[in-house]
């Protein structure tokens, strides 16, 4: 078999799809390495930005309460490579994280960063993912509706809310909703659960209470994304609705609803799904701001507080992890997309 | 070309000689047909007018505190005055207010003083300032006729400062951050996008990776980290420029992509090849033939990036890590409305600057949309 025959054979072979998938996965993983490296460098720069180094601050913090003895200071100095060239410090910081899972110490609270960040990060991503679901669940039907009933009252209402959603900053929307909820519905605002459930173990009642609170940040964070997606969906579907294949299907006597969902909506969905790449970073960003306003137990308030008191290892770890988790989330969504849509893996 | 003649308001000449219209004139014509975008152009113009002549438009001095006017709700403008003999006459005025303190709850409230009115007028005398920083003046567009009276048209804050004046003065900072940021992202975006698209190869790969990197990470935590490093003791001007540069990091990635796409598609066009064969240098080809053919698209996408930067500045300042309070911007104004308690007590602290931001962002968005449609020869 000549190499040309082999190539043709491989092209048609059924496992080609799988191998293309692996090739795609391999390429994407390879691209991730420089991205993650850049993220870590930027984070390191942010940690280094405030004047003075970590130990100066730590020593100043602890000098009131007796201070640190010289041995501990020296041990910490070695651990972080303080006083040595920048790249040594960077390597030491990175190797602590990579090989020991050690993100340093939050000197404001004087406990390892590891102990405080993980459940906050979990909440941030839980809310971001729920927001993504919310966006899809609202933008898809509304987008289809405003394309099919173009220039109807409903379309104008959707367009109007779409523009408002784009123009109102997240935090402003959060403030307005909190004001309305407090003033007209008397709901306790801020936090994810009512005050009486704080620190309680999880029960069904607490879960219901969580549901009663969590919709607000989801709606606030999701509004601008949903607004953008409604516009995209509407434009895409309008491009498809008057194509000959739609007319053909209609001529064959297909019911209007079936026809709509089976052909033009499916075509219009493609760019819709591919927006996943930019939507996750936007949602995480939005969640962080909204969390500050609504006082949610997520990354936002912790990061802001850490930055304001210059608790740099805590702040740096949060920025590093939020960014890396977002990149991983985007990768997962890209893989899902490639799995759904074969055109992507052959690019 | 015909830019000067066609940008004028009349447009009668165009009707007779349509064959002479240049691309800019065609674009302008198409743009004017887009009603919402055309109105938005006027609104945007008004807002920038406000930014330029803030001191003329503001009735009160921006940092003038008043212990007798804390958290005053917005005061209405009234038109008719009833004299002692019962006859009514036209006189713009506001009702004077009396402060009452409820000793039990320590709450302030204001009631109208029926005996006293504050006459209002146009071009009244107020605090002294300099028009555009050059011409000293005391004339203000609208306000109380007696310079010692204070009327809070949009309410006052916790130090008794006039919200309306603060919003007007804040326009300067908030809107100019968008413009300065645009210049920064224009320079970065066009040069990197141009390099990427014109040369291709490893330069292209490198720049595209950089763009992808910046788009794949959540920007807010990163900006927070950078903005928080601005020392508190820095002069306001430094802070302003650093915040602008941080904020302009959003705009350039999408611009770079757009410019790259244009370069890629233009690179193989016949007229570019012809120009190159004529012996023009790379730089001349880019400057004389490529940039003019996509500058309208760039203007449109720049317009769409301005509102993003305004929102970014507002968010950072609101969190307290962008611009700091002696600087007045819409973001620092909203910082006053940061907790639910102050919003309940004084909702106008949230509503007035919030509305202003929404109007500005909406107008700029519509304007950018209209420009983009007008710049696209294939749009219907």
- Which chain A residue is nearest to residue B309, measuring alpha carbons? A169
Structure confidence at residue A252 as a pLDDT band (50, 70, 90): confident
Residue A141 has pLDDT above 80, yes or no: yes
Q: How far apart are CA B240 and CA A122, in angstroms?
A: 35
Helix (H) or strand (E) holding B79: strand B78-82
Shortest distance between the Cα of B78 and any Cα of chain A, in A, equals 29
Strand blocks (E) in chain A? 105-106, 111-112
What average pLDDT does the segment A107-133 reach?
81
CA dist A274 → A1, A264, A279, B255, B298 (Å) = 40, 17, 9, 20, 24
User: What pLDDT shows up at residue A276?
Assistant: 66
Nearest to A225 by CA among A269, A288, A283: A283
Lowest mean pLDDT among A291-295, B92-96, B161-165: B92-96
Q: Which residues of A touch B357 (CB under 8 A)?
A: 167-169, 172
Structure token digits, residue A312: 């740099």
- Which chain A residue is nearest to residue B306, measuring alpha carbons? A167
pLDDT tens string B5-24? 444 444 455 455 556 777 77
Nearest by CB to A35, from B216, B320, B354: name it: B216
Identify residues of B whose CB sits under 8 angstroms from chain A CBs.
209, 212-213, 215-222, 224-226, 228-229, 231, 307, 311, 314-315, 318-321, 334, 337-338, 340, 343-344, 347, 350, 354, 357-358, 361-362, 365-366
For residue B249, the SS3 value is: coil
Q: Which residues of B touch A309 (CB under 8 A)?
A: none
List chain B domain ranges: 73-154, 168-375
User: Cβ–Cβ of B221/A323 closer than 8 Å?
Assistant: yes
Specify which residues B97 forms β-bridges with: B112
What average pLDDT does the segment B229-242 reach?
78
Q: Which residues of A touch B370 (CB under 8 A)?
A: none
Q: Yes or no: say if B40 and B356 are a contact pair by the CB < 8 Å rule.
A: no
What average pLDDT does the segment A216-227 reach?
85
Q: How far apart are CA B7 and CA B32, in angstroms?
A: 11
Shortest distance between the Cα of A25 and any Cα of chain B, in A, equals 17
Shortest distance between the Cα of A286 and any Cα of chain B, in A, equals 8
Q: Which residues of A touch B343 (CB under 8 A)?
A: 175, 178-179
The residue behind tokens 């165009």 is B14
ipTM of the complex: 0.76
Long-range contacts of B165-168 (CB under 8 A, 24+ apart): B165/B58, B165/B59, B165/B60, B165/B61, B165/B62, B166/B62, B166/B328, B166/B333, B167/B330, B167/B333, B167/B352, B167/B353, B167/B356, B168/B50, B168/B54, B168/B57, B168/B58
Shortest distance between the Cα of B242 and any Cα of chain A, in A, equals 14
Structure confidence at residue B97 as a pLDDT band (50, 70, 90): confident
Nearest to B66 by CA among B173, B180, B152, B194: B152
Question: Count of residues for chain B?
Answer: 380
CA dist B233 → A48, B108, B236, B246, B249 (Å) = 19, 35, 9, 19, 24
Q: Provide the chain A residues 146-165 that lie in CB contact (below 8 A) with chain B.
A: 163-164
The DSSP result for B148-170, as a single string, is T----TT-B-TT--BHHHHHHHH
- Which chain A residue is nearest to residue B213, measuring alpha carbons? A35
Q: How far apart are CA A332 and CA A326, in angstroms?
A: 10
Task: Name every residue whose Cβ is closer than 8 Å to that of residue A130 and which is 6 or more positions away in sequence.
Answer: A214, A218
Structure confidence at residue B46 as a pLDDT band (50, 70, 90): very high
Taking only Cα atoms into account, the Rg of chain B, rounded to an integer number of angstroms, comes to 26
pLDDT tens string B199-225? 778 888 888 888 877 777 777 888 787
C-alpha A39: how far from its chain's center? 15
Q: What DSSP state is assigned to residue B42?
A: H
Taking only Cα atoms into account, the Rg of chain A, rounded to an integer number of angstroms, comes to 26
Specify which residues A346 forms β-bridges with: none
Q: How far apart are CA B295 and CA B261, in angstroms?
A: 13
C-alpha A138: how far from its chain's center? 18
In chain B, how many H helices and how many E strands?
Answer: 16, 4
Q: How many CB atoms lie within 10 A of CB A176?
A: 17
Rounded to 5°, the CA angle A207-A212-A215 comes to: 110
Tell me the average pLDDT of chain A: 77
The DSSP result for A130-147, as a single string, is HHHHHHHHHHHHHHHHHH
Nearest by CB to A179, from B311, B318, B350: name it: B350
The DSSP result for B118-138, as a single string, is EEEEEEEEEEEEEETTTEEEE
Q: Which residues of A touch B202 (CB under 8 A)?
A: none
- Which chain A residue is nearest to residue B214, measuring alpha carbons? A35
Residue B30 has pLDDT above 50, yes or no: yes
What average pLDDT does the segment B102-107 reach?
72
Q: Which residues of B touch A319 (CB under 8 A)?
A: 221-222, 224-225
Rounded (10°) CA dihedral A204, A208, A213, A217: 90
Nearest by CB to A289, from B231, B319, B362: name it: B319
User: What pLDDT shows up at residue A280?
Assistant: 77
Q: Which residues of A touch B222 (CB under 8 A)?
A: 42, 46, 319, 323
C-alpha A135: how far from its chain's center? 13
Shortest distance between the Cα of B122 and any Cα of chain A, in A, equals 33
pLDDT tens string B257-288? 888 888 887 877 888 889 888 888 888 888 88
User: What pLDDT shows up at residue B3?
Assistant: 45
pTM of this prediction?
0.79
Q: Provide the chain A residues 301-330 that lie in CB contact (below 8 A) with chain B.
A: 303-304, 307-308, 310, 315-316, 318-319, 322-323, 326-327, 330
Rounded (10°) CA dihedral B12, B13, B15, B16: 140
User: Cβ–Cβ of A179/B320 closer than 8 Å?
Assistant: no
Q: Which residues of A touch B358 (CB under 8 A)?
A: 164, 167-168, 172
Q: Please give the backbone phi and psi of residue B124, each rounded to the nearest 5 degrees, phi first.
A: -95, 165
Q: How far apart are CA B241 and CA B327, in angstroms?
A: 13
pLDDT tens string B124-148? 777 777 777 777 877 788 877 777 7
Q: How many CB pairs under 8 A join A and B?
A: 133
pLDDT tens string B58-68? 887 777 777 77
- Which chain A residue is nearest to residue B206, measuring alpha carbons? A34
Q: Which residues of B touch A34 (CB under 8 A)?
A: 209, 213
User: Cβ–Cβ of A289/B365 closer than 8 Å?
Assistant: no
Q: Yes or no: say if B249 and B219 are a contact pair by the CB < 8 Å rule.
A: yes
User: What pLDDT shows up at residue A17?
Assistant: 57
Q: Which residues of A touch B307 (CB under 8 A)?
A: 167
Interface-testing mutation among B39, B210, B220, with chain A (most A C-beta atoms within 10 A): B220
Shortest distance between the Cα of B226 and any Cα of chain A, in A, equals 6
User: Cβ–Cβ of A315/B350 closer than 8 Å?
Assistant: no
- Which chain B residue is nearest to residue A178, measuring alpha carbons? B340
pLDDT tens string A29-75? 887 888 888 888 888 888 777 766 556 666 666 655 555 566 777 77
CA dist B334 → A23, B9, B245, B350 (Å) = 50, 38, 22, 6
Interface-testing mutation among B37, B39, B221, with chain A (most A C-beta atoms within 10 A): B221
Nearest to A137 by CA among A233, A207, A217, A213: A233
User: What pLDDT shows up at residue A61?
Assistant: 60
Burial B111-122 (b: 16+ CB within 10 A, else e): eeeeeebbebee
> Topology of domain B168-375, per CATH?
MetI-like fold (1.10.3720)
Q: Provide the chain A residues 176-235 that lie in CB contact (below 8 A) with chain B.
A: 176, 178-179, 182-183, 189-190
What average pLDDT does the segment A185-203 reach?
71
Q: Yes or no: say if A233 and A268 are a contact pair by the CB < 8 Å rule.
A: yes
Q: Yes or no: say if B278 and B336 are a contact pair by the CB < 8 Å rule.
A: no
Q: How many CB atoms lie within 10 A of CB A269?
A: 16
Q: How far apart are CA B161 and CA B70, in angstroms?
A: 8
Q: Which residues of B touch A289 (CB under 8 A)?
A: 220, 315, 319
List the strands of the sheet with B88-102, edge to edge. Answer: B78-82, B88-102, B107-131, B135-144
């Amino acid at each position: 078999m000549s190499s040309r025959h082999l190539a043709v054979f491989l092209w048609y072979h059924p496992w080609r799809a799988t191998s293309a998938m692996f090739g795609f996965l391999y390429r994407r993983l390879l691209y991730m390495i420089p991205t993650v490296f850049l993220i870590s460098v930027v984070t390191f720069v942010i940690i280094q930005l405030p004047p003075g180094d970590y130990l100066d601050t730590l020593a100043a913090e602890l000098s009131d309460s007796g201070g640190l003895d010289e041995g501990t200071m020296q041990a910490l100095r070695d651990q972080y490579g303080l006083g040595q060239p920048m790249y040594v410090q960077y390597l030491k910081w990175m190797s602590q994280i990579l090989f020991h899972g050690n993100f340093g110490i939050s000197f404001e609270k004087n406990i390892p960063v590891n102990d405080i960040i993980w459940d906050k990060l979990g909440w941030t991503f839980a809310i971001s993912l729920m927001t993504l679901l919310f966006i899809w669940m609202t933008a898809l039907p509304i987008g289809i509706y405003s394309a099919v009933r173009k220039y109807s009252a409903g379309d104008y209402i959707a367009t109007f809310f779409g523009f408002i959603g784009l123009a109102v900053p997240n935090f402003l929307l959060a403030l307005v909703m909190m004001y309305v909820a407090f003033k007209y519905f008397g709901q306790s605002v801020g936090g994810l659960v009512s005050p009486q459930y704080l620190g309680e173990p999880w029960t069904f009642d607490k879960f219901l209470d969580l549901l009663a609170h969590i919709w607000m940040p989801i709606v606030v964070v999701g509004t601008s994304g949903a607004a953008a997606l409604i516009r995209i969906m509407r434009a895409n579907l309008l491009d498809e609705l008057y194509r000959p294949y739609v007319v053909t299907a209609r001529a064959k006597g297909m019911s209007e609803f079936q026809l709509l969902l089976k052909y033009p909506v499916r075509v219009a969905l493609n760019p819709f799904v591919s927006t996943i790449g930019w939507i996750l970073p936007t949602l995480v960003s939005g969640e962080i701001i909204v969390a500050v306003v609504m006082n949610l137990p997520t990354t936002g308030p912790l990061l802001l507080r850490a930055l304001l008191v210059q608790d740099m290892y805590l702040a740096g770890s949060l920025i590093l992890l939020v960014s890396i988790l977002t990149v991983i989330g985007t990768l997962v969504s890209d893989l899902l997309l490639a799995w759904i849509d074969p055109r992507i893996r052959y690019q | 070309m015909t830019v000067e003649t066609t940008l004028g308001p009349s447009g009668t000449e165009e009707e007779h000689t349509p064959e002479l219209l240049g691309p800019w004139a065609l674009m302008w014509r198409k743009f004017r047909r887009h009603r919402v975008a055309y109105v938005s152009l006027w609104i945007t113009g008004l807002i920038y007018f406000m930014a330029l002549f803030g001191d003329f438009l503001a009735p009160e001095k921006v940092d003038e505190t008043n212990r007798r006017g804390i958290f005053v709700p917005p005061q209405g403008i009234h038109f008719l005055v009833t004299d002692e003999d019962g006859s009514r006459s036209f006189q713009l005025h506001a009702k004077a207010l009396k402060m009452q303190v409820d000793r039990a709850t320590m709450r302030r409230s204001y009631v109208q003083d029926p005996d006293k009115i504050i006459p209002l007028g146009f071009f009244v005398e107020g605090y002294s300032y300099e028009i555009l920083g050059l011409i000293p003046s005391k004339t203000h567009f609208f306000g109380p006729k007696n310079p010692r009276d204070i009327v809070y048209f949009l309410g006052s804050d916790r130090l008794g400062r006039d919200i309306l004046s603060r919003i007007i003065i804040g326009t300067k900072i908030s809107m100019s951050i968008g413009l300065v940021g645009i210049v920064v992202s224009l320079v970065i975006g066009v040069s990197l996008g141009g390099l990427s698209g014109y040369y291709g190869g490893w330069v292209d790969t490198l720049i595209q990776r950089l763009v992808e990197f910046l788009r794949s990470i959540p920007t807010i935590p990163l900006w927070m980290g950078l903005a928080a490093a601005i020392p508190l003791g820095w002069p306001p001007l430094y802070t302003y420029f650093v915040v602008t540069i941080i904020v302009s990091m959003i705009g350039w990635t999408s611009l770079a992509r757009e410019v790259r796409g244009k370069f890629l598609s233009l690179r193989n066009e016949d007229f570019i090849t012809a120009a190159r064969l004529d012996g023009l240098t790379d730089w001349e080809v880019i400057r004389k033939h490529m940039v003019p053919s996509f500058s309208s698209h760039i203007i449109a996408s720049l317009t769409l990036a301005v509102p993003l930067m305004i929102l970014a500045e507002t968010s950072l300042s609101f969190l307290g890590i962008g611009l700091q309070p002696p600087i007045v911007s819409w973001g620092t104004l909203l910082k006053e409305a940061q907790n639910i308690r102050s919003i309940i007590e004084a909702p106008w602290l949230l509503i007035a600057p919030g509305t202003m931001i929404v109007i500005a962002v909406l107008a700029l968005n519509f304007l950018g949309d209209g420009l983009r449609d007008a710049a696209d020869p294939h749009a219907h």
